[in-house]
Structure 1
Amino acid sequence: MELNMKRLYKSLPSGTVSYLETTGVGPTLLFLHGNSSCAEVFHHQLSHLGKSYRCIALDFLGHGESSAAKNNSSYGFSGCVMQIIEFIDELQLENIIVIGHSLGGHAIVDALPKLNCVAGILLVGAPPFNSKTATDAFLPEPTSGLIFSNELNDEQIIEMAQQFANEDVLPLADWIKVVKSINNTHQDVRPGILTGFTLDELQDEIQILQRTDIAKMSIVGELDGFINNEYFNQPELQDIFAENSLFIADCHHCPHIESPVIFNLHLERFIKQCFPEQIIRSFILDKKVKTGIFIERYMPLPKPGTNQVAIRVKASSVNPFDYKISRGELPHLEPEYPTVLHSDVAGIVLAVGDEVCEFEPGDRVYGCAGGVARRQGALTDVMLADNWSISKMPENLDFQQAAALPLVAIAAWEGLEAAGINGEMKVLIHGGTGGVGHIAIQLAKQLGASVYATVGSEEKEKLARELGVDDTVNYKMEEVEDYVNRLTGGCGFDLVFDTVGNSNIDKSLSACKVGGHVVMTLADGNVDLTIAAGRKLNLHFINVLWPMLSGRDTESYRYILKKIKTLIERDELKPLLDDKQFSFEHAEFAHQFAASGAAIGKVILVNE
């Protein structure tokens, strides 16, 4: 979804204001800039949040694209307060979060007693003060009065810009925006602000915030030359902001421009504080950030479509394609970025679409439901899943156990079914203690087949035998020809189920009897089919993701998951989980561990 942002205008009694507005459908965020700035300096926030939230960035009169004020008194604090009140009234804004920078921050605080539509206020470079604390809140004015001067030459504009923002950390385009916004400010604005001070327009901002029962946050640059950061240690300020008094390193007076990634993360967390039931947390993968690194994001609670189910996610598990996508190794499966990965989900139904009749809120469900194409995955608080991709969980499993099953159970079922498994077959399973392998062993034994598995250690051999195999092969110590002779008398296996892929496929083809079946779940390298052709082998490539990628054959998911549920509840099948589990916050480490091959069974992630 592309960002849709418009430049709009609104006539107020004191002049015509301009503003930028995005069309996100989440809660409304109102951005108010500082002295000699403009709405465009919030472009990092608008582009980052505008798809999910209705973002509005106002140009005060005399700034940006707004007109000059009809009366210079409109440039002072009280004038900005009136602009805010009138603007909010004209747009009929309700239940909003206001992000006020410097002048905009002080103005929104002063406006609060006359507003009942504000759910939270984030002050940026705007320490609340009163007549007694003003001298403590601010350092000696670093621009020698330039911030109140009517006309500035080029050198003075640069000097002022250097106090506003750390030129060393800004991209050139952002630095130009800062300089341009100062240059474009109407010449009467800065003197008008100073006049407002002399007319004793200042309110007791500390008292206002103490009396206002809304969420509050303060963000200040550690290198801000205007503000005394020690001022925030005062008990009154500690009571107002508590843990929400934040400082961002290497920033001057405009941390929203200088460090937008960190600033936006704090802003998203603040939105969650303001609307705890409307905002969810997700862990996203973004191409703009280092490969394999997950970023914590907060976004509006999604609503299920007609045939969808909203699931409050309790757990997920790692499959090979999850960590391969995160490392950029499967470009053909890459979803639209930024994205939420992971297909396996277990959780509780939160809401259902209008045409969903199989599920209702409160149901415990599991499924293989996203993480590829345009489908958002399970590393989130609430996931939207098509109703065909999930089933009710087995009653005798917890969420972690259920999350281990969907993709691997579907793959094992489809693979054995494609090969026509029966009780007369000798079946070799490569990767027998892995995700697909351990389910395939149990399903094949349920059908009466003789089952053998390759393992790489004594521990995994013991586990494979506990799962029911008739014998094992240590692939590190025994060649294909040797174990084919030992276990099949040299004839080969009726069915070879290869869950390893790549270079192992040649071994699978060699181990299969003439006219036998080879099932593959991973084939992302070059496969030489010479052996297969010469031995008339039946090859079956299992792509569990096909229904999600194509939208076809969708009913297979729910059918298989229901069958698996029955087997689990009869104690005829059990999931195998590695002892090491991870939280969603540590998804990166879960991927590394799963990719290392050290896991025994599925690697589980828990949404804590």
Structure 2
Amino acid sequence: MKAVTINSYGETPKLTDVPEPKVGPDSVLIRVKAAGVNPVDWKITAGYLDPVLQTNFPLIPGWDVAGVVEAVGPAITEFAPGDEVIGYNRQDVAQFGTYAELVAAPVRTLARKPASLSWQQAAGVPLAGLTAYQALRAAGAAKGDTVLVHAAAGGVGSFAVQIAAARGARVIGTASERNHGYLRSLGAEPVTYGDGLADRVRELAPEGVDAALDFVGGDAIPASLDLAKSAARVVSVVDPGIAGSGGRYVFVRPDAADLTALGELADAGKLTVNVDKELPLEQVAEAFRLSQEGRTRGKIVLTV
């Protein structure tokens, strides 16, 4: 089968021929339709996660997948061949990722594909959607709250805005001015990031915010701690050091129930996915370049 591989850290990923994956007892073999691109993918190939994540070569990158079940392991009862699924295929060892024609994914990482989304949109849901969903849960975001979302036009932030709005929260989102219209379309009140951010937020919410989600790091954390009524409801997915200030750090994890909930929101018309760039699998290097620039609005997706 065809898959994107590298043989050492820092190597340019390229499309090669590799053996088809074996299907373990608790795994599902998926014929990939599309694979979402996330910053963690190129960070792994560059070696940035080597201190914390065992990586074996040749490495197939990618954690997000949308595709059709080809076969199931003997312990699997949740899915059958022909089912359409999405998954956050993060395993304890990085080696067999989703930038491939076929991938064997643990059943704990999978949910049914939302019928209302295209393959490309569905592939953009897992990592970013779960990150937003789990961060909002950690912040206790609920109906009637005012929630501040940093980097609200990005892949994770755009999910957080929609999920919070679906829960009945008022959402204030930071973004560059070119993305303000996009944020309004998602249900957020936009503010420009940068110097004076806290003052601009207080113009909209004079008493501060109930919860704040940091998806960018840097100055967003002190601004959030200044604006939030309780530091315990300030959540960062970027900086573990926030715990020292009373906030919470969230590292996304695969969760089939959470992924199913995201799909239900999509099929209820409360969650959509903006695919900023769609590229064929062989153009993975270009996808990584665009991701590294950090200027995409929504998701980058590889099609198989």
Instruction: Indicate how the Cα distance of structure 1 residues 509 and 324 shifts in structure 2: closer, same or farther if over 3 A, else same.
Output: farther
> What amino acid does structure 1 have at the position aligned with 2:123?
A
Letter of the structure 2 residue corresponding to residue 479 of structure 1: G
Shift of 1:601: 0.4
Conserved in 1, the CA contact under 8 Å of 2:35 and 2:66? yes
Is the counterpart of residue 559 in structure 1 residue 261 in structure 2?
no
Q: Report matched runs for 1:153-168 at 5 Å.
A: none
Asked if structure 2 preserves the Cα contact closer than 8 Å seen for 1:520 and 1:542, the reply is yes
Equivalent position of 1:297 in the other structure: 16
Distance across 1 between alignment mates of 2:272 and 2:107: 24
Shift >6 Å, 4+ stretches? none
Show the counterpart of 1:587. 284
Q: 1:497, 1:519 within 8 Å by CA — same for their partners in 2?
A: yes
TM superposition shift of 1:429: 0.2
Q: Deviations over 1:2-50 (max 9, x none)?
A: xxxxxxxxxxxxxxxxxxxxxxxxxxxxxxxxxxxxxxxxxxxxxxxxx
> Which string of whole-angstrom CA distances, capped at 9 and with x for unpartnered residues, describes residues 446-472 of structure 1?
1111100001132x1000000011x21
Q: Is the 8 A contact 2:139 2:212 kept in 1?
A: no
Q: Find the aligned partners of 1:561 and 1:307 in 2 and give their Cα distance.
A: 18
Q: Distance in 2 between matches of 1:444 and 1:395?
A: 22
Change (3 A) 1:421 1:353: same
Map 1:8-407 to 2 at 5 A: 280-287=1-8, 291-331=10-50, 332-333=52-53, 335-370=55-90, 373-374=93-94, 376-407=96-127
Q: Structure with the greater relative contact order (CA < 8 A, sep ≥ 6): 1 or 2?
A: 2
Letter aligned with residue 257 of structure 2: Y
Aligned counterpart, 1:605: 302
After TM superposition, give the deviation of residue 568 of structure 1 in Å. 1.1
Structure-1 residue corresponding to 2:144:
424
In the superposition, relative to structure 1, how do residues 404 and 292 fare at CA in structure 2: closer, same or farther (>3 Å)?
Answer: farther
Relative to structure 1, the CA distance from residue 485 to residue 568 in structure 2 (aligned partners, 3 Å threshold; closer, same or farther) is: closer
CA distance in 2, matches of 1:521, 1:409: 13
Residue 501 (1) aligns with residue 256 (2)? no
Partner of residue 27, structure 1: none
Q: As a proportion of its length, which structure holds more helix?
A: 1
Cα RMSD for the two superposed structures: 2.0
Cα shift readout 1:507-556 (whole Å, capped 9, x = no counterpart)? 333332344511111227xx4767x2xxxx4x2211114x5xxxxxxxxx
CA–CA distance in 2 between the matches of 1:445 and 1:591?
A: 31
Residue type of the alignment partner of 1:474: T
Equivalences, count:
303
Q: Deviations over 1:302-330 (max 9, x none)?
A: 23111100001111111121122222323
Question: What TM-score do you get using the length of structure 1 for normalisation?
Answer: 0.48
Q: CA deviation at 1:420?
A: 1.4
Identity of aligned residues (%): 32
TM value normalised by structure 2: 0.93
Counterpart of 1:558 in structure 2: which amino acid? A
Residue 574 (structure 1) aligns with: 272
Deviations 1:408-431 (A, max 9, x none): 111111111112111121100001
Change (3 A) 1:481 1:299: closer
Q: Distance in 2 between matches of 1:397 and 1:422?
A: 26
Q: How far is 1:338 from its partner?
A: 2.1
CA gap of 1:333–1:512, structure 2 versus 1, over 3 A, is farther
1:273-329 CA-to-partner distances (Å, cap 9, x unmatched) read xxxxxxx111112216xx151133322222311110000111111112112222232
Which residue of structure 1 lines up, in the alignment, with residue 180 of structure 2?
Answer: 461
Larger radius of gyration: 1
Match of 1:437 in 2: 157
- Maintained 8 Å contact 1:518/1:540: yes
